Amino acid sequence: MIERRRFSRIVYQAQATLTQESTQVNALVCDLSLHGLLVTSDQSNLLDMNKQVDVEFSLAGSDVTIQLVGNIVGLNNNVIRLSIDHIDIESIGHLKRLVELNVGDDDLLHRDIEHLSDLGEYT
């Protein structure tokens, strides 16, 4: 199988809350990148694939919370694939640091950041 990902994914587990309008779903982050994340939820059937979702999760052992707006790009059983549409500068800084600590390859991380800035993914 050919690897098509342009961003390094890291395994990271954290409880998350996904919100669409008045619907709130509890989820578990399974892995993430600077571009998106993979979450699981037994409430995934409550989500509308055509609407953006607000995602919030905290970093383990800290009071840091990452907040972002994502698009559902895949919904299969209880697995939800999200691409990041908007993330504030503070959250992207924390996410970048988390990826940096887990990737272990500076060249790979800088490549990811270049791709991200090319896409204008964060504001």
User: How far apart (Å, rounded) are the C-alpha atoms in residues 108 and 25?
Assistant: 33
pLDDT (tens digit, 9 = 90+) per residue, 63-88?
999 999 999 999 998 999 999 999 99
pTM value surpassing 0.85? no
pLDDT (tens digit, 9 = 90+) per residue, 5-36?
455 678 899 999 999 999 999 999 999 988 99
User: How far apart (Å, rounded) are the C-alpha atoms in residues 81 and 29?
Assistant: 10
Domain 11-118 has CATH 2.40.10.220: yes
